């Protein structure tokens, strides 16, 4: 059985994901904590809805003038705000503050409109994003990698041979494997990505109570997102030896040192 290798991308100065969620990440020599993210006007790309536990890991983001950005941030179930515009702005994340940003969803962005450009600074930034983007680009290689267990390689081949549903089913399996892979990388870097929540406040309203859900219900729903993300990341760790996955690769980045404190908060 022939094997393939991961694509060596550690020397690339930029990496680009294809349409429809096109985005380019640029890296700088001796600037390992800073990356530039460029989103073309026709892209559907969105930054993951995420948060950090430690102050040192919180991002500083500088949006350049011209790009039409929409920044959503949340500090509680009913403590949300959105900032948008083309004037450019600076934003500093805080511990526990959940955020995402993307092209302004309230305006059209025809081809030829200015790109959305942002400089993002956070410890371990380059290592994480080089691994994330490279793993996405290399996702189709997983069944043929030497590190992929034999049973997994045979399983995917058998699935692909199924009439009618084989191709679609194998693609779904690969997407699940990719998500497990990304969770491992995010966990390594203390990047708490949204994996859902328990809709306690919605259940309160379904019970036909006209008042705002009590604070205990809001707090419980808010904390449930932490719980589900932690459980998802730990489950990814359990699956990693079965699927032959790691939380980072030398082909994508040479360094192997975690940002300080990440192991304590993400385990």
Among 89, 118, 122, 128, residue whose Cα is nearest residue 23: 118
Q: Residue 260 has what pLDDT?
A: 45
Q: What confidence category does residue 208 fall into, taking pLDDT thresholds of 50, 70 and 90? A: low
Q: How far apart are CA 194 and CA 197, in angstroms?
A: 8
Mean pLDDT of 197-210: 84
Going from N- to C-terminal start, the domains of the chain cover 14-128, 142-266
Judged against a pLDDT cut of 50, whether residue 213 lies above it is answered with: yes
Q: Which residue has the tokens 């503050």?
A: 97
Mean pLDDT of 237-258: 87
Among 48, 34, 55, residue whose Cα is nearest residue 265: 55
Give the burial string for 122-137 (b: 16+ CB within 10 Å, else e): bbbbbbbbbbbbbbeb
Mean pLDDT of 141-169: 90
Q: Residue 264 has what pLDDT?
A: 42
In which element (H, E) is residue 237 found? helix 215-243
Percent of the chain clearing pLDDT 70 (strictly above) = 93
Residue-wise pLDDT for 166-199, tens only, equals: 889 999 999 999 999 999 999 999 999 999 999 9
Considering only 30-34, 90-94, 122-126, which range has the smallest mean pLDDT?
Answer: 30-34
Q: What are the beta bridge partners of residue 26?
A: 14, 36
The rounded mean pLDDT for the chain is: 90
DSSP string across 5-16: -----TT-SEEE
Residue-wise pLDDT for 105-142, tens only, equals: 888 888 889 999 999 999 888 999 999 999 999 999 99
CATH number belonging to domain 14-128: 2.60.120.10
Q: Residue 261 has what pLDDT?
A: 45
Pick the residue with more confidence: 256 or 220?
Answer: 220
C-alpha distance from residue 267 to each of 118, 140, 264 (Å): 30, 29, 6
Q: What confidence category does residue 205 fall into, taking pLDDT thresholds of 50, 70 and 90? A: confident
Residue-wise pLDDT for 38-47, tens only, equals: 999 999 999 9
Mean pLDDT of 255-267: 49
Q: Residue 267 has what pLDDT?
A: 47
Mean pLDDT of 64-72: 95
Mean pLDDT of 186-215: 89
Strand, coil or helix: what is 234? Answer: helix
Residue-wise pLDDT for 47-56, tens only, equals: 999 999 999 9
Pick the residue with more confidence: 254 or 61?
Answer: 61
C-alpha distance from residue 88 to each of 25, 91, 108 (Å): 19, 10, 18
């Amino acid at each position: 059985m022939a094997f393939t290798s991961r694509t060596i991308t550690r020397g690339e100065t930029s990496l680009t994901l294809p349409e429809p969620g096109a985005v380019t990440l640029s890296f700088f020599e001796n600037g390992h904590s800073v990356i530039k993210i460029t989103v073309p006007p026709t892209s559907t790309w969105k930054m993951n809805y995420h948060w950090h536990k430690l102050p040192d890991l919180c991002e500083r983001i500088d949006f350049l003038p011209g790009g039409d950005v929409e920044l959503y941030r949340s500090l509680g179930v009913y403590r949300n705000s959105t900032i948008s515009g083309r004037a450019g702005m600076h934003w500093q994340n805080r511990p526990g503050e959940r955020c995402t940003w993307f092209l302004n969803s309230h305006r059209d962005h025809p081809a030829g409109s200015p790109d959305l450009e942002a400089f993002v600074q956070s410890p371990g930034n380059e290592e994480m994003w080089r691994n994330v983007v490279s793993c996405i680009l290399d996702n189709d290689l997983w069944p043929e990698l030497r590190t992929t267990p034999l049973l997994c390689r045979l399983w995917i081949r058998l699935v692909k041979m199924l009439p009618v549903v084989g191709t679609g089913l194998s693609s779904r399996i690969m997407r699940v494997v990719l998500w497990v892979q990304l969770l491992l990388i995010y966990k390594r870097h203390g990047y708490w990505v949204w994996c859902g929540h328990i809709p306690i406040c919605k259940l309160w309203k379904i019970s036909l109570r006209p008042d705002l859900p009590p604070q205990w219900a809001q707090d419980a729903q808010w904390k449930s997102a932490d719980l589900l993300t932690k459980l998802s990341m730990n489950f990814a760790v359990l699956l990693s030896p079965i699927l032959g996955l790691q939380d980072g690769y030398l082909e994508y980045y040479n360094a192997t040192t975690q940002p300080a404190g990440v192991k304590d908060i993400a385990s």
